[in-house]
Chain A
Amino acid sequence: MRRIGVFVCHCGINIAQNVDVEALTKYASKLDSVVVSKSYKYMCSDVGATLIKDSIKKHELDGVVIACCSPRMHEHTFREVVSDGGVNQYRLEIANIREQCSWAHSDREKATKKAKFLVRSAVAKAKLLESLETSTLEVNHDALVIGAGIAGIQASLDLANDGFKVYLVEREPSIGGRMAQLDKTFPTLDCSSCILTPKMMEVANHPNVELLTYSEVTGIEGSIGNYTVKIKKKPRYVDVEKCTGCGDCATACRLKDRINSEFNMSRGKRGAAYMPFPQAVPLKYTIDAEHCLFLTRGKCGDKPACREACDQKAINFDQKEEIVELKVGAIVVTTGYDLLDPTSMYEYGYANSPDVITTLELERLISSSGPTLGEILRPSDQQKPKSITFILCVGSRDETECTWCCRIGCMSALKHVYLLREKLGDDVEINVCYTDVRSYGKGYEEFYRTVRGMKTNMFRGRPSEVQNMGDHQKIDIFDTTTNKLFEITTDMVVLVPALLPRADAGDFARLLHLTLSGDGFFLEAHPKLRPMDTFVNGIFIAGCCQGPKDIQDTVSQASGAASRVATILSKEELEIDPLIAAVDAEVCTGCGICVEVCPYEARVLNEKTKIAEVNDALCTGCGACIAACPSNASIHKNFTKKQLLDMVDDII
């Protein structure tokens, strides 16, 4: 018979206030096979750990049940304690009486009753738990970074400088992401390209980095330490080895200046043969298959103009999509964000007037490499505006659009005020309609003060609508600081829209088996303690794909994620959790169903013995084969049918 010890944690008062821990301890002591039952205020503390270890020795325990918080929180801690005490770490069972009892229920009596059930059930399982040993697997030392904005670039550089080989995948023709679109950055007003371009060059030239631009991840297999990733390389129809980036193809393109430039937020035009921006990396041209006359209609004049113009003979319309397979040990996802299309808030006139624009469009207008070469011109008539009005929180903090704060809107608007004042002088009227200015970062509040001193008309309130009066826009705004309604007539309106998850974040999450939080951004494993981890071991997230944040936070998080990856890649071997599938060779009929259902290719049928086997390195313990096995030959170690049914039996 097993000798089991039960240890009940008070968790301060987290558990104790809603569960009668003393009654629970006493109850546990009377259960079959339980030889000792104790409670303590903080079982995860040193004193608690010693209590468990001493009890193991004193009572010669060979199984342990700890009634405490979620195993997600402290299972790891307690496995070490039990192991130190001399019991196999897999002979520990946790009864979660915090999240499932004290936090979930307010009726103390009922919560205590439920806790007793959970402990009894845990003891039932502990009686059957087997000793298991961890095995190891070799680690692939290469990393994959998905998305080459500032987050992806930073993570790649950190890893590459640590000596790891990094594959950096970007779906656009150039790396650089959103930061490349910005003119200056708050609050220090560094020129965005001045600080970004060197990093783009560094990552492109780094011997340890392999750039895969105009490429997308289409499939992933394996698990931590050994991922196999499929990448689709879209055809550029330009031989990058030959292309010198001279631009003759773009000049010759029959669609020159006819297609909206994505990089310029449709405020500028490009051709079908194009480079998104002058500092693009790689400095190569791309032919846009969606618009190119030759590719869409099979005909472009007599001969494709770009091909004729290219001295290097770099244009190649025969290029095909290519699939490459990469093997990596860990992955960082840095896929960035989208902006809310303010058309959905029709009252703000974005769809109703060319003179209502978004902050990112203004960035392109301010930028010296933008469509107006940095001149601020009103889109409708290309005249210098005499008055510009900002509306903050467009779709942010909004139950009908995006419930969250975009975290960069206030500061980006203040930055624009500064830059516009600098460019246009004191004659231009600048109005800001804000709800609450959130200037929480280092140097942000000081920057806000500076802008307040720059003849800015601040209105504390939110307009209800923007009326297009033809040659100007009219806004009624109730200012809650003066308790007055103001009518603003203005030349241009700049909307500061909400930050959204990428439109395809859901599809991408499914592809990588990641989880989304309620807002649609990728979910971190723990909001405070594991902010870069995901629930998939070996896959990390950084930057705005995890949630809105500024460049400072993005870069910090990217370096953090790189460091988390390095921890894995620097190991020669990884311990594998033995809580995975196994096969009862006596029972297996070799039907092969398990091989078919396994999503990780961890199940193989041994041709000689006709018995299905488990590849421990690939098995994640997902349980698909166990559910599918018609003869009960597939088992999940320490989650066997007998163990689980006994747990249930003891409750009912």
Chain B
Amino acid sequence: MSITDLTSMGEPQVELKKEINDRLSKLQDEVSDYCYQCAKCTSGCEAHKLLELEPHKIVALLKQGLIDEMVNSDIIWTCMSCFKCRERCPQKIAPVEILFALKNLAVAGGKQVPGKYTSVLQSVLSIGLIQDAQSVTTKDMKTKTRDDLGLPPLSKPDDPAKFQAGLMKIAVEKV
């Protein structure tokens, strides 16, 4: 016996679905199976109007185990993580958290990470912050540093080597 999605010839990825549901449980989120497709999430999705993200469809595809389809799609990277879907779901499902899981899967699977995520990651790995302290220009075109403003030195990891060692270990692990 088998189930096939005839548009893609894809089959339900039962194991992967279980992995995602396990992850959701670990993070204390409801699993997707309880969704009854009221689409309240999509009605209020901040990313839907601009970028056509359909959270209820993400949940439906996960329910059916059609996961690769999503992991391979750019659509999962359109979420603004406004958390309205999670906040208002009548079945306590959190499409936003499912999207985090799918994006994590895409990264772990070696998919191209879009935009500046790679440089943000690299910055955090090397100095512990998403960027180093900037000189900022005021309205009257004066450039100021933290020092100029009398702000204390930036708080960052004191022993970068140790910090990096810790991060590198995790970077290859999953929730």
Verify that A and B bind, or say they do not: yes
Question: CB within 8 Å of B: which residues of A?
Answer: 347, 393, 397-401, 435-436, 461-465, 476-480, 483, 485
Complex Cα spacing A461 to B54, Å: 13
Which residue of B36, B84, B88 is within 8 Å of A435 (Cβ)?
B36
Closest to B38 in A: A462
A-B contact pairs, 15 of them (CB 8 A): A347-B44, A347-B88, A393-B90, A399-B34, A400-B92, A435-B38, A461-B39, A462-B38, A463-B43, A464-B40, A464-B88, A476-B43, A477-B43, A478-B42, A478-B54
Closest to B37 in A: A480
For A477, the chain B residues whose CB sits under 8 A away are 43
B57 to chain A, nearest CB (A): 9
- Are B39 and A476 touching (Cβ within 8 A)? no
B93 to chain A, nearest CB (A): 9
For A398, the chain B residues whose CB sits under 8 A away are 90-91
- Are A478 and B90 touching (Cβ within 8 A)? no
For A480, the chain B residues whose CB sits under 8 A away are 37, 39, 56
User: 18 additional contacts, CB 8 Å, given A465-B88, A478-B43, A478-B48?
Assistant: A347-B44, A393-B90, A398-B91, A399-B90, A399-B91, A400-B92, A401-B90, A435-B36, A436-B36, A461-B42, A461-B43, A462-B39, A464-B41, A464-B88, A477-B43, A478-B39, A480-B37, A485-B43
A404 to chain B, nearest CB (A): 12
Given contacts A462-B43, A464-B88, contact A485 B38 (CB under 8 A): no
Given contacts A435-B38, A462-B38, A478-B56, contact A400 B90 (CB under 8 A): yes
Complex Cα spacing A477 to B84, Å: 14
B146 is an interface residue with CB less than 8 A from chain A = no
Total contacts A-B at CB 8 Å: 59
Closest to A392 in B: B38
B49 is an interface residue with CB less than 8 A from chain A = yes
For A401, the chain B residues whose CB sits under 8 A away are 90
For A397, the chain B residues whose CB sits under 8 A away are 36, 90
Which residue of A461, A479, A483 is within 8 Å of B40 (Cβ)?
A461
Task: Please provide the chain B residues from 63 to 78 with a CB less than 8 Å away from any CB of chain A in the complex.
Answer: none
For B92, the chain A residues whose CB sits under 8 A away are 399-400
Closest to A402 in B: B90
Complex Cα spacing A401 to B92, Å: 11
Closest to B91 in A: A399
For A347, the chain B residues whose CB sits under 8 A away are 44, 88
Question: CB within 8 Å of A: which residues of B?
Answer: 30, 34, 36-45, 48-49, 54, 56, 84, 88, 90-92
- Are A463 and B40 touching (Cβ within 8 A)? yes
Which residue of A393, A436, A464 is within 8 Å of B43 (Cβ)?
A464
User: A-B pairs with the 8 shortest C-beta distances?
Assistant: A464-B44, A398-B90, A462-B40, A478-B42, A462-B38, A461-B39, A464-B43, A478-B43
Closest to B34 in A: A399
For A483, the chain B residues whose CB sits under 8 A away are 54
Complex Cα spacing A431 to B56, Å: 22
- Are A485 and B36 touching (Cβ within 8 A)? no
Complex Cα spacing A393 to B89, Å: 12
Complex Cα spacing A625 to B44, Å: 60
Closest to B46 in A: A464
Closest to A463 in B: B43
Closest to A477 in B: B43
Which residue of B38, B42, B56, B88 is within 8 Å of A393 (Cβ)?
B38
A393 to chain B, nearest CB (A): 7
B96 to chain A, nearest CB (A): 13
For A478, the chain B residues whose CB sits under 8 A away are 39, 42-43, 48, 54, 56
For B34, the chain A residues whose CB sits under 8 A away are 399
B39 to chain A, nearest CB (A): 4
For B88, the chain A residues whose CB sits under 8 A away are 347, 464-465
A395 to chain B, nearest CB (A): 8
- Are B90 and A485 touching (Cβ within 8 A)? no
- Are A465 and B44 touching (Cβ within 8 A)? yes
Complex Cα spacing A485 to B38, Å: 13
Complex Cα spacing A283 to B162, Å: 85
B104 to chain A, nearest CB (A): 26
A224 to chain B, nearest CB (A): 42
For B40, the chain A residues whose CB sits under 8 A away are 461-464
For A465, the chain B residues whose CB sits under 8 A away are 44, 88
Closest to A395 in B: B90
- Are B56 and A485 touching (Cβ within 8 A)? no
